[in-house]
Structure 1
Amino acid sequence: MSVNPAIQGPGAVPGDDALEKRTYSKVFWRIVPFLMLCYVIAYLDRVNVGFAKLQMSQDLGFSEAVFGLGAGIFFLGYFFFEVPSNLLLHKVGARVWIARIMITWGILSGCFVFVESVTSFYILRFLLGLAEAGFYPGVILYLTYWYPAHRRARIVAVFMSAIPVAGIFGNPLSGWIMDAFHGVSSMHGWQWMFLIEAVPAVLVGILVLFWLDNSIEKAKWLNAEEKALLQRAVKEDQAAGDKGPHSVKGVFMDSRMWWMAAIYFAFVMGQYAITFWLPTLVKATGVQGNLHIGLLSAIPFLCAIVAMNLFGRSADHRRERRWHLIIPAMMGAIGFAVSASFTQNTAVSLLFLSLAAAGVLTCAPLFWSLPTAFLSGTAAAAGIAAINSVGNIAGFVSPYLIGTLKDMTGSTAIGMYMLSAVLVLGAIGVWLVPKKLVNR
């Protein structure tokens, strides 16, 4: 995917556009593709349970509600350790902390091979969330160390393209592993899937220790002139922004933080409906075979990659944030509502699931332009983590609620209509955010 890293704004050296362009290009290619790779692995290990469901529920006798609760319990562990994890990352540095996160979640993901009961499933999902807590908000915080606000929407959109990339490659890969390895060494296909897909997290986690730099100052691949340009851009951006809270306590006393968390909750509800339930929704239209389900499930994620980067590029170019969030939220609402009405028609259902995926996955990266407009330093570490923690409770609510409603009604339609309503509320919440707070 193409990214033009140079946009004029605070921190530019007058008359030296070439230096700015070269410097930001160097930063982009050094850190963003690598962080994207890390997030592809993170997201694959987080949501491959959705694909495992196709075999796992039958093999272990899990109901839809049990499986939905297990999928969601991940976010309870995530919730409890998110803020402490991000504060530790801010204190000890991203290099060591992100490496620790990746290695521990890789080990725990591989341990799903040993799941035999509802209890062990719940415990491992909780521990996996505990281990991964801090990775995503930590990367969002880390990017604020390098990029001023007027560049971040596109950069975060590229980074978060890892979510659909994980879906594009992960779903067919998971389907193939489950079919090809089923019965090998007396193990189920889903056990092999967890084991094989856990290995990259550990290996890349080790690589983080040698690749990431904690700050602009510590980057040996930048010269003094490039460092000065980047540091000036970030400093001027912080000075130009809203005077937000400067302490952890101040963050939690700021009503804007809680408003942001509520908006993010609405968007995450839709995001995890796609990532956890997409294979099941595709299968429900009559598609047979894990590999076929995986290939068709990749289509909505392809659409999401295009939408995420187009909206991110437009938001930075126009320096407009609110409508660039409202429109994709409404796309998600329409996509869920219409696909719920055509569950027996593969083509129509897939078309509108693609619209839903493009909408809800676009909301996530663009959302972070809002809170990072008034948070910086330690307050940013706590605030980003707190918003992500509260918002990600939706990752617990969404799969459990849809699973419970499906057990009660025999259909996912009511759950999807509910998601549409929640996304509309999220769009209204964004519209109520003062334009002057975020459009820069």
Structure 2
Amino acid sequence: MSINPTAAMPYAEAPLDERRVYSKVSWRLIPFLLMCYTAGYLDRVNVGFAKLQMLDQLKFSETVYGLGAGIFFIGYVIFEVPSNIVMHKVGARVWIARIMITWGLISAAMVFVKTPTTFYVMRFLLGVAEAGFLPGILLYLTYWYPPSRRGSIIALFLGGIPLAGMLGGPLSGWIMQAFSNMNGWSGWQMMFLLEALPSVLLGIAVFFVLGNDVRSAKWLTESEKNLLEANLQLETPDAQVHSLRGAFTELRTWILCVMYAFILMGEYGVLFWMPTIIKDTGVSDPLQVGLLTAIPYTATVIAMFLVGRHSDRTRERRWHLALPGVVAAVGLALAAMYPHSTVMAVVGLTIGTMGVLAVVSQFWTLPPALLGGIAAAAGIALVNSVGNLAGFVSPYMLGWIKQSTGTTSIGLYILAASMLVGSLIVFCFPSRLVDR
């Protein structure tokens, strides 16, 4: 396979004109997509902060919360693959806008939850609405960036996860405290309402900001379009699967599914339960809990970028995924060892969250390296769908364990083991397939 040597050099080795083109593309796309993902992820996980008030007011048990938090992923999983296939056909601009507007409206409607049944139904519908956003954007990025540039770009985009925690924690805590009992609504209801507005507004903005691909971008010159398209073509791996059938029958697609499920056990266990873990150390004020959750997420933004950047520089993917997985396991185990110490819990959660989300960002360099064309559209969605079944299992498991034992420590040890297993599965893939 012939590779354009400049296209394979994402940093100082590439010609200045090429670096300027990619910088232009990145400044146009990444900050906006990052805002979209931050808003969407906050709508997905802010239920973890609502829990601090909602359970007492609505008389929900820990198990009811865990099931409601996790049932989001049932609707999410069912509609992931169809959503990505539709996007591949109708284009990103229309489909991403549809996703964001509908999920924002449903997230706002969480204010009407009164019973466990309505809680389950609204969480399920939120999953249906959001299905396809993450795999859709990951597919969309492959329309612009060749494999040699995706490590740092995907890390920047997925930085929306820790940003949602870094900004959303203090914001959620402040809203719940400052707007409590406004017009007869509780703080958690006002939080759902106010935090849904950015998703709807950004969804409308998608129509005006995003183009479907390089060729449709009116803000690029013809020579810039030709350069981007040439690099994409020259760096397409020969080993990729391209057929729709191949996406479902290829063994490595299913290995990716299993691997991602183990990784997401750790991710969603941390994201949905971090406020509770910190509260259980003796911190009762929602705003203080929110401020403390910002510490792990702030450190994680930096870690994800540095790992992604170094991975692109060295063009090595497996160890850049495996080593953060080991770090994640150590951090989660540390948090489990000190359930009554706020300082040690925050230290452990910081180390654990840095490792978990660095693994997630590096994981998403793998599917586009192995799948192309319609196979990438279906395969990326399939991997995300099957993997996200862990999003149902993990919060529910921690809720059941906490209700049964009175502590989350056992659950954190399980999450640590899951991160270790998931990250080491990467060595099932030869370096020649994924190191690009």
Report the TM-score, using the length of structure 1 for normalisation.
0.96
Deviations 1:326-383 (A, max 9, x none): 0111111111111101011111111111000000011111101111111111110000
**Contact 2:283/2:289 (CA < 8 Å) preserved in 1?**
yes
Tell whether 2:52 aligns with 1:54: yes
**What is the SS of the residue equivalent to 2:145?**
coil
- Residue 155 of structure 1: aligned partner: 153
Tell whether 2:433 aligns with 1:437: yes
**What is the SS of the residue equivalent to 2:214?**
coil
Q: Distance in 1 between matches of 2:240 and 2:224?
A: 28
Q: Distance in 2 between matches of 1:411 and 1:16?
A: 52
Alpha-carbon offset, residue 415 of structure 1: 0.5
* Matched-pair identity in %: 53
**Contact 1:373/1:437 (CA < 8 Å) preserved in 2?**
yes
**Contact 2:139/2:380 (CA < 8 Å) preserved in 1?**
yes
Deviations 1:5-56 (A, max 9, x none): xx943499xx981220110010000001100000000000000001000000
**What is the SS of the residue equivalent to 1:146?**
coil
**Contact 2:9/2:148 (CA < 8 Å) preserved in 1?**
no
Q: Of the candidates 259, 265, 276, which is equivalent to residue 263 of structure 1?
A: 259
The letter for the 2-side match of 1:289 is: D
Q: Of the candidates 382, 386, 392, which is equivalent to residue 386 of structure 1?
A: 382
Q: Distance in 2 between matches of 1:404 and 1:288?
A: 22
**What is the SS of the residue equivalent to 2:317?**
coil
- Residue 320 of structure 2: aligned partner: 324
- Residue 364 of structure 1: aligned partner: 360
Q: Distance in 2 between matches of 1:137 and 1:432?
A: 23
Deviations 1:292-351 (A, max 9, x none): 000001000011111101100010000000000001111111111111010111111111
Deviations 1:237-285 (A, max 9, x none): 11xx143322221111000000011111111111111210010011111
Deviations 1:67-116 (A, max 9, x none): 00100000000000000000011110000000000000000001001000
**Contact 2:359/2:423 (CA < 8 Å) preserved in 1?**
no
The letter for the 1-side match of 2:104 is: G
Deviations 1:206-248 (A, max 9, x none): 000011000100111100110000000001111xx14332222
Q: Distance in 2 between matches of 1:368 and 1:418?
A: 23
Q: Distance in 1 between matches of 2:428 and 2:214?
A: 36
Deviations 1:105-131 (A, max 9, x none): 000001001000000000000000000
Aligned counterparts, 1:24-63, within 5 A: 24-63=22-61
Tell whether 2:351 aligns with 1:355: yes
- Residue 210 of structure 2: aligned partner: 212
**What is the SS of the residue equivalent to 1:186?**
coil
The letter for the 2-side match of 1:321 is: R
**Contact 1:95/1:208 (CA < 8 Å) preserved in 2?**
yes
Aligned counterparts, 1:17-96, within 5 A: 17-96=15-94
Q: Distance in 2 between matches of 1:16 and 1:224?
A: 20
Q: Distance in 1 between matches of 2:119 and 2:259?
A: 30
The letter for the 2-side match of 1:192 is: M
**Contact 1:68/1:404 (CA < 8 Å) preserved in 2?**
yes
Alignment coverage as a number of residue pairs: 430
Q: Of the candidates 291, 297, 303, which is equivalent to residue 293 of structure 2?
A: 297
**Contact 1:11/1:230 (CA < 8 Å) preserved in 2?**
no
Query: Where in structure 2 are there 5+ consecutive unaligned residues?
Result: none
**Contact 1:11/1:234 (CA < 8 Å) preserved in 2?**
no
Q: Distance in 2 between matches of 1:228 and 1:433?
A: 32
**Contact 1:171/1:295 (CA < 8 Å) preserved in 2?**
yes
- Residue 112 of structure 2: aligned partner: 114
Aligned counterparts, 1:240-251, within 5 A: 241-251=237-247
Q: Of the candidates 234, 255, 272, which is equivalent to residue 276 of structure 1?
A: 272
CA RMSD of aligned residues (A): 1.3
**What is the SS of the residue equivalent to 2:46?**
helix
Q: Distance in 2 between matches of 1:110 and 1:214?
A: 28
The letter for the 2-side match of 1:208 is: V
Report the TM-score, using the length of structure 2 for normalisation.
0.97
Query: Where in structure 1 are there 5+ consecutive unaligned residues?
Result: 1-6
- Residue 140 of structure 1: aligned partner: 138
Q: Distance in 2 between matches of 1:412 and 1:33?
A: 36
Alpha-carbon offset, residue 439 of structure 1: 0.7
- Residue 4 of structure 1: aligned partner: none
